[in-house]
Amino acid sequence: MGLIDFPDPVAMFEGGKTAGLEREIVNSLVSAAYSAWITAMWRSGAAKWALWAGEGQAMKDAATATYLSLRELEQKNFLTLTVPSDLLAPDNLSRFQTEQKIK
């Protein structure tokens, strides 16, 4: 990097051309990470050791709360969440309430 750098129009064009692909890759990686975390928390919460320790429901609640918090980003096509189908059961989701504060 020099003392004075001038914009490189070719680099700007190439960056703009590949920005869509890079954004899709980032979205995919973030989606996979969140989906894996939610699934791990949900499945771990259902394990016998977690139920025995009394932490099972808390882990399942954390997974559900995370999913509900990220669902808005999924609706904006930023994330694609893949979660266990029993997490989406109406009796599980009905126990949570999401509130949004508008500034």
- Residue 78, SS3? coil
Domain residues for the domain of 61 are 31-93
Query: What is the reported pTM?
Result: 0.74
Average pLDDT over residues 63-67: 94
The predicted pLDDT at position 39 comes to: 95
Is residue 24 in some structural domain? no
Q: Does residue 41 form part of some domain? A: yes
Q: Is residue 6 part of a domain?
A: no
Can you tell me the distance from the alpha carbon of 42 to that of 87, in angstroms, rounded to the nearest whole number? 7
Residue 20 forms part of a structural domain: no
| pLDDT tens digit sequence for 13-54 | 566 556 666 777 778 888 888 999 999 999 999 899 988 888
Q: Is residue 36 a part of any domain in this protein?
A: yes
